[in-house]
Amino acid sequence: MSFGEPNNPYGQPPQGQPGYGYPQAPQGVPQQGAYGYPAAPPVAPYGAYPGGPNQIPQSMPGLLVTARVFLYLISAAQIALGLFFLYLGAIASDASELSSTYGNDNPFDSMASAAAGVLVVVGLLFLGLAALSITLGVRFGNGGQGVRITTIVYGALGTIVGALYLFSALDTGLASAMILPLIWVVFAVILTIAPAVNSGSAWFARPRY
Does any domain span residue 114? yes
Average predicted confidence (pLDDT) for the chain: 78
pLDDT of residue 8: 56
Does any domain span residue 33? no
Does any domain span residue 81? yes
Does any domain span residue 145? yes
Does any domain span residue 87? yes
As a whole number of angstroms, the longest Cα–Cα distance in the chain is: 137
- Provide the 10 A C-beta neighbour count for residue 49: 11
- Taking 50 as the pLDDT cut, the residues of the chain under it are 1, 22, 29, 34, 43-53
pLDDT of residue 142: 87
Q: Give the tens place of pLDDT for each residue, 188-200.
A: 999 999 999 999 9
- Cα separation, 129 vs 151, in Å, equals 12
Please count the structural domains in the chain. Answer: 1
Does any domain span residue 136? yes
Q: What are phi and psi for residue 50, nearest 5 degrees?
A: -60, 130
Residues of the domain holding 163: 61-205
Q: Give the tens place of pLDDT for each residue, 28-48.
A: 545 555 455 555 555 444 443
- Provide the 10 A C-beta neighbour count for residue 97: 13
Does any domain span residue 32? no
> Of 209, 205, 203, whose CA–CA distance to 58 is shortest?
203
Does any domain span residue 97? yes
